[in-house]
Structure 1
Amino acid sequence: MEISFIGAGNLAWHLAPALENAGHHINEIYSRQLQHARQLVSNLYDARTHSELNFADSPSQLFVLAVPDDALPDVCSRLVLPENAILVHTSGNQSLEALEQWMAVYSDVPVNTGVFYALQTFSKGQPFLEFDEIPLCIEATEKTTEDILVQLGQELSHIVYLITSEERRLLHVAAVLACNFTNHLLALAYDLTTANDLEFDLLRPIITETFRKSLAVANPADVQTGPARRGDLTTIDSHLSLLADQPHLSEIYQIMTQSILRRYQQ
């Protein structure tokens, strides 16, 4: 399939090469920052940068919107596509209906719309991820487009699901809890240790074991440990005393503690 990317950020950095490795041809990469498009093109076989959002003469059949959610309305308002092209967004939160409506308003030709959402955390500049075990969530306005996107997904991953916009939004919230919030807590632990001349590396074994246990059971709640899990209010009060001069960190500690207490100490 002939494919073009609109956006050259974290997701495009990994998805474009993965599609190319699956035998598809990446034609064009558009980015508001031309240097980002050039960086991605340098990792592809014979793709070229595209300096504007007019793709009317593009040979591509599929156009992948890989831009931040808040940029989608503006990009769609300026996007010109070939007739009957497939346009997919890659957002965990934006609905398919929103993309349909934007194209109905702004496009002068019929466009088929869909969602191609990879449930993974991506970072630009990191080694390319293998997509074999990355869940791909597919949604489309009509069956032919759905079939094309499912086939495309199955060429990349063993885990392909048809999921509604509402289901995808719920998954996205869960992913923020499991991924983004967890990583932020690790960053806070790093700040706390290094600010007190302690090695963050001392925590790496417990972090590794925590994730090993959590992923080895059906419900991570079954392997919860710590003072809140056992209702150890004395230790909790001691910790809060240590954090008295760090109100932001103390607030996070209290919110997490209360959540654990509510689950286990009723």
Structure 2
Amino acid sequence: MKISFVGTGNVAWHLAQALEEAGHWICEVYSRDTQHARQLATELYDTNIQPDLNFADSEAEVIIIAVSDDALDEIIERIVFPENVIVVHTSGAKSLAEFQKLIEIYSDVFVHTGIFYPLQSFTKGVEMDYKELPICVESKNELIENKLISLAESISDHVTRMDSDERFTLHVAAVFANNFTNYLLTVAHDLLSREQLDFDLLQPLIRNTIDKAFSSNDPASGQTGPAKRGDIETTSRHMEYLQEINPEWMDLYRTMTEQIRARHTSK
């Protein structure tokens, strides 16, 4: 298929290269920062840098809008589409109905709409196995949805039809599983760095925690630690220590401890 990208961030950087490797032609890339568009284009074989949001003469069959949720409204308001093109966005939180409404308000031509949501934490330059990448697809038009599924299956073995409510729930869960987990690891790293201790000491524990979470039907079955045991003396000492060095970390520790206690006391 012929595909154009609006946005050149982490998601576009990975998807554009994965789709090209699967045999698709990335016609154009657009970014508000031309240098970013140029950087992505240099990673691709035969891609034009789109100077503005007028895609009226584009050969693209699919336009993938890979921008932040906050930027999506502004992009849709300004973009000019070729008639009958398939337009998708890559957001986990923005519903298809919201997206469709924006298109209907601002587009002067008829276009097909859909969702092409890759469930992953992308970082430019970090290689990944795209065959293991979950991709969630949605469209109100069955023919368009099937085309998007075929497109997704050209790069991934894990493609799922998913409506907007399901995708929103998945996105919330992903924030807990990835973003919040990474922040907790960041806090652990900073705590150890403060005392000049090696963060690598936690690697076996972290890997074991993740392995246990996926080896059972419920990660709660692998919960351990002073909060679950009800070890008040230890958790109190931890909070006193954290209060001295970073009260925000203490608040986070207390909240997590209370949640764990409530979960396992009620069982």
Give me the whole-angstrom Cα distance separating, in 2, the residues matched to 1:52 and 1:236.
56
Structure 2 gap ranges (5+): none
Distance 1:235 1:56 in 2: 65
Alignment of 1:246-265 (within 5 A): 246-265=246-265
In the TM superposition, 1:101-250 aligns within 5 A as 101-127=101-127, 129-245=128-244, 246-250=246-250
Q: Offset at 1:243?
A: 1.1
Per the TM alignment, residue 66 of structure 1 is displaced from its structure 2 partner at its CA by 0.3
The two structures have a TM-score, normalised by structure 2, of 0.97
Deviation at 1:125, TM superposition (A): 2.6
User: How far off is 1:238 after superposition?
Assistant: 1.2
Moved more, 231-240 or 57-66: 231-240
Task: Measure how far apart 1:257 and its partner are.
Answer: 0.5
Corresponding residue for residue 88 of structure 2: 88
Query: What is the CA deviation profile of residues 97-152 of structure 1, one whole-angstrom value per residue up to 9, with x for unaligned ones?
Result: 1111111111111010000001111012322x222111111111211111100111
SS across alignment from 2:154: helix
Q: Give the deviation of 1:204 after TM superposition.
A: 1.6
Deviations along 1:145-174, one digit per CA (max 9) or x if unpaired, are 111001111112111111111110100000
Map 1:60-79 → 2, pairs under 5 A: 60-79=60-79
SS of aligned partner of 1:250: helix
Q: In the alignment, is the contact (CA less than 8 A) between 1:18 and 1:130 conserved in 2?
A: no
- 1:187 corresponds to which letter in structure 2? T
- Aligned AA for 1:257? T
Give the CA deviation at 1:241: 1.4
d(CA) in 1 for partners of 2:36, 2:122: 16
Aligned to 2:2: 2
With structure 1 as the length reference, what TM-score do the two structures score? 0.97
Counterpart CA distance in 2 for 1:87 and 1:160 is: 18
Deviations 1:7-31 (A, max 9, x none): 0001011100111111110010000
Q: CA RMSD in A?
A: 0.9
- For residue 256 of structure 2, give the secondary structure of its aligned residue in structure 1: helix
Instruction: Mark the runs of 5 or more structure 1 residues left unpaired by the alignment.
Output: none
Moved over 2 A (4+): none
Q: Which deviations, in whole Å up to 9, do the C-alpha atoms of 1:178-218 show, x marking residues without a partner?
A: 00000000000111110122121211221121112212222
- Alignment match, 2:56: 56
- In structure 2, C-alpha distance between the alignment counterparts of 1:219 and 1:265, rounded to whole Å: 16
Match of 2:32 in 1: 32
Q: Percent identity?
A: 48
- C-alpha distance in 2 between matches for 1:74 and 1:137: 24
Aligned AA (1:30)? Y
What number of residue pairs does the alignment pair up? Answer: 265
> CA separation in 2, counterparts of 1:105 and 1:241?
55
For residues 201 and 130 of structure 2, the distance between their equivalents in structure 1, rounded to whole angstroms, comes to 32
Deviation of residue 81 (structure 1)?
Answer: 0.9
